Amino acid sequence: MSFLRSFWVPLALLAGALVLVLDPVPFVSPVARPVPVPDWATNTNPVRQPKLVPHYVVAGFTYQCSDCHRIIPSPRETQRRLTQHTDIELNHGLNTRCFNCHHPHNRDAFVDDFGEEIPWNQPQQLCGKCHGPVYRDWEHGSHGRLNGYWDAGRGPQLKRRCIECHDPHHPPFGSMTPAPGPDTLRMGPSLPPGHEGRRDPLRIYSAQAPPTASH
Amino acid sequence: MAPPENPPGAGGDVARPAEVSRRGFLTQGAAAAAGLAALAAALSPLRHLKEGDLPTAEEFLQKHYKEMTAAEKARVLGRIQEQVKKRYGVTSQVNDPPPLDGVEFVYGLNISRCIGCRKCVHACVAENNPSRAPEIQYIRVLEMEKGSIDVETANHRYDASQVPRPDKWYMPVQCHQCANPPCVKVCPVEATWQEPDGITVIDYDWCIGCRYCEAACPYWARRFNFTEPQIEPDQLNPDLAYLSNRPRQKGVMEKCTFCLHRTRVGKLPACLEVCPTGSRKFGNVLDPTSEVHYILKHKRVFILKADVGTLPRFFYYFDERGSRYHDPLEGAGQATHGEGA
C-alpha cells in the first residue's frame, strides 16, 4: 500500500504511456468508402444518337429511304397500323399523320408548311413549324444543349438538335435512373427517424457491413 | 546495509529542503523517468510522419497568391506539378489562367427542364478532383414537392429508381459566385476573394481552415477537407489550375469555381457539358449575343434567397409553357433513357 502511495505518480504516467504506445482502442474512421460511380454518370453524349441521314438499315444493308418509297407509293391517309417500320409508334400528341413531317413524295426529306423539302439533317426547321416558342428559345440558346466552348472565338460549339434529346415519334423527355446520391460527411441534417441507415453520413463501417451502392 | 543518515527519532527528522531522502530520490526519479516515457509515447505518432507531411521551408514561406510575382508563381506551379507526380504518379499540367478581359461569368439553370439525374454532381467530381473518401461534392440537387420552394425541408438524398418523380421538382444548388459574397467578407486571412470575372476563388495554401466562410455562405456552397482527401490516381484529372482543381490538402476549404481552368480558356463547365436535358446555361453576361444574356433579358428569372442581398451570378429560370410541369406526364412515363437501367 505504501508502495502505491509513494509511486502513484510514475505508475499513472507509465500506464498513460502504455495506453499511448499499445493503442488498445483502434481509431475507426467514420469516413465511408467511396461509392462507385457508373461511367454513364459522367458521359457527355446526348440521350439519343440520331443518324441525321435518311438511311434505313435492314438485315445489315443500309438503304436510302427513297430506295423503297420511290417504288412503293404510300397512301395519303396513314392512320392505319404500319405494316413496315413496326418499331415506330407515333405518340406525338395531336400530330398523328406521318406526312405532317415526312415529305409525301421525297422520303429522303421532311416537309415544310408550303410543301417544300427540309433536309434530313435540319430537323429543327421541321419542329419549329409547330413549336414556335421552343424554337425561338433553342435558337437563342435558352432551350437545348450546347457543348464545347461558350466562346465561339476560342473553339467549336456543338449545338445539339431537337432529336438528339427528343424522340420525334414520342417527344417528351423520358425519365432516367439517377446517379448515386451524396455520401458526404456534412451535407445537411441526418434523415428523419426511420430513414437513417445507409445514408447516415456518420455511420461507422465495419467489415461485416460493406457499403451498398446506392443505385 | 549502510547506517541511515537520518535515523528516525534522532532529531534529524526536520530535513532541510535541499537534502534529498532516499525515498524522495527514488520516488521523484521514478516519476521523472515515467514522465519521460509518457512524453516519448505521446510523441510516438511522429514516427509515422512521412516525407511531405510537413511543409518544406519553401512551402512555409510561400506568399499569398496575389502577392506572388510571375517568377514565383511559375516556381510554385512547377512544385505542385512535382508533388502531384510524386503523390499520384500522374503527369499533370498545372496552369494559372488569368481572368479574361470584358468577361463576367453568369450561370443560368432551367428548373422547368431539370430532372434531378445528378449527372452534373458526378461530372463535377470527376473534373475538379475533390476527395472521394470522404466524399466532397460541390453540387447538391434538391428535391422538393411541386408547388413549394422550401429549401430547408428539401431532400438531396432522394434514391428513386427513376427521376423525375411525378410530384417532385428538382433544384441543383452550387456556388452562386455572388457579387456581394459574405464568404469573402468573413475570411480572417483574405484567403478567398472575388476575381474580376466574378468567380470567387480560394488560395488553398493560404487558407487556415477556420470554416467561417462555410458558416457565412447562405447557399451551403463551401466544403471542408476534414481528412486528407483521397483520390484514386486513375481518377485524377491532370488538367489542373492553381485556383481551382489542383489537389487540396487536409484542413482547407474548397468550392465550385465555375471550372475556371476550363471556362477561362473558353470551354464550358463540366456540369453543363454533361447535363442531358440542357438545363444548364453558361456564358459571358457582358456579351449581348450570349445565351445567358438572352435568358436574363427574356426569360422569367429568379435568384435563390434574394432577401439576403448576396447578388448571385447564378440564376434560375423557367419556361412559360411546354415544360414537364405543365404537360401531363402519363405519356412521358413510358419513355426512359436506358443509360442507367
pLDDT in tens, A102-141: 998 888 999 999 999 999 999 999 999 999 889 999 999 9
Q: Which of B220, B291, B336 sits opposite A176 (nearest CB)?
A: B336
pLDDT band, residue B291 (cuts 50/70/90): very high
What is the SS3 assignment for chain B? CCCCCCCCCCCCCCCCCCCCCHHHHHHHHHHHHHHHHHHHHHHHHHHHCCCCCCCCHHHHCCCCHHHCCHHHHHHHHHHHHHHHHHHHCCCCEEECCCCCCCCCEEEEEECCCCCCCCHHHHHHHHHHCCCCCCECCCCEEEEEECCCCCCCCCECCCCCCCECCCCEEEEEECCCCCCCCHHHHHCCCCCEEECCCCCEEECCCCCCCCCHHHHHCCCCCEEECCCCCCCCHHHCCCEEECCCCCCCCCCCEEECCCCHHHHCCCECCHHHHHCCCCCEEEEECCCCCCHHHHHHHHCEEECCCHHHCCCCCEEEEECCCCCCCCCCCCCCCCCECHHHC
pLDDT given for residue A213 in this prediction: 42
Residue in chain B nearest A164 by alpha carbon: B276
Residues from chain B that touch A133, judged by Cβ atoms under 8 A, are: 320-322
Residue A196 has pLDDT above 70, yes or no: no
For the stretch A158-183, pLDDT in tens is: 999 999 999 999 998 889 999 988 87
Residues 6+ apart with CB under 8 A from A34: A183, B132, B133, B135, B230
Highest mean pLDDT among A24-33, B9-18, B152-161: B152-161
Say if residue A30 is preceded by a cis peptide, omega within 30 of 0.
no
How far apart, in Å, are the Cα atoms of B146 and each of A32, B112, B123, B219? Answer: 32, 11, 27, 21
Beta bridge partners of A147: A158
Contact A175 B266 (CB under 8 A): no
Residue B95 pairs with which residues in a beta bridge?
A: B241
Q: Give me the pLDDT at residue B281, please.
A: 96
Q: What pLDDT, on the 0 to 100 scale, is given for residue B15?
A: 53
pLDDT score of B152: 81
| 130-169 of A, contacting B, C-beta below 8 A | 131, 133-134, 137, 140-151, 153-155, 160, 165, 167
Share of chain B above pLDDT 90, in %: 67
For residue A210, the model assigns a pLDDT of 41
For residue B207, the tally of other CB atoms under 10 A from its CB is 22
> Which positions in chain A touch B198 (Cβ < 8 Å)?
none
Question: With 90 as the cut, is the pLDDT of residue B341 above it?
Answer: no
- Of A200-209, B175-184, B195-204, B328-337, give the lowest mean pLDDT range: A200-209
Q: What is the pLDDT of residues B73-128, one digit of tens each?
A: 999 999 999 999 999 999 999 999 999 999 999 999 999 999 999 999 999 999 99
Q: Cell 543518515 appears where?
A: B5
| C-alpha–C-alpha distance, residues A74 and A102, integer Å | 11
| A215 touching chain B per CB within 8 A | yes
pLDDT at B333: 44
- Residue A198's pLDDT band (cuts 50, 70, 90): very low
Contact A14 B23 (CB under 8 A): no
Beta carbons of A74 and A104 less than 8 angstroms apart: yes
Residue B148 has what pLDDT?
86
Which residue did the predictor score with more confidence, B52 or A12?
A12
Confidence of residue B184 (pLDDT cuts 50, 70, 90): very high
Residue B100 · residue B209 · CB < 8 Å: no
Q: Are B337 and A212 in contact (CB under 8 A)?
A: no
pLDDT at A104: 87
Instruction: Label residue A93 by pLDDT band (50, 70, 90).
Output: confident
Spatial CA neighbour of B256 closest among B208, B312, B301, B190: B312
- Identity (one letter) of the amino acid at B320? E
Q: What is the pTM of this model?
A: 0.82
Model confidence band, residue A95 (pLDDT cutoffs 50, 70, 90): confident
**Mean per-residue pLDDT of chain B:** 88
Calculate how close chain B gets to A72, using CA atoms only, in Å: 32
Cβ-based contacts of B110 with chain A (< 8 Å): 142-143
Strands B314-318 and B105-110, bridge-based pairing: parallel
- Whether residue B326 is predicted with pLDDT greater than 70 in this model: the reply is no
pLDDT in the model for residue A147: 95
Using a CB-CB cut-off of 8 Å, the residues of chain A touching B118 are 41, 178-181
Hey, which residues 219-238 in chain B have their CB within 8 Å of chain A? 220, 223-224, 226-227, 230
A window 76-115, beta carbon within 8 A of B: 91
Cβ within 8 Å, pair A174-B161: no
Highest mean pLDDT among A13-22, B34-43, B151-160, B194-203: B194-203
Residues within 8 A of A (CB atoms), B 71-110 only: 108, 110
Mean pLDDT of B167-194: 95
Does residue B170 have a pLDDT over 60? yes
Q: Which residues on A lie below 8 Å from B294 (Cβ)?
A: 140-142
The pLDDT tens digits for B249-263 are: 999 999 999 999 999
Is it the case that residue B71 has pLDDT exceeding 90? Answer: yes
pLDDT at residue A77, as a whole number: 61
In percent, the amount of chain A with pLDDT more than 70 equals 81
Interval A63-86 mean pLDDT: 78
Q: State the Cα–Cα distance between residues B126 and B211, nearest whole angstrom.
A: 24
Domains of chain B in sequence order: 105-327 (3.30.70.20)
Say if the ipTM goes beyond 0.85. no
Mean pLDDT value across residues B263-270: 96
Q: Answer yes or no: is pLDDT of B139 > 90.
A: yes
Cβ contact, residue pair A173, B121, below 8 Å:
no
Band the pLDDT of A205: cuts 50, 70, 90: very low
Q: Report whether pLDDT(A201) > 80.
A: no
Do B307 and B100 form a contact (C-beta atoms < 8 A)? Answer: no
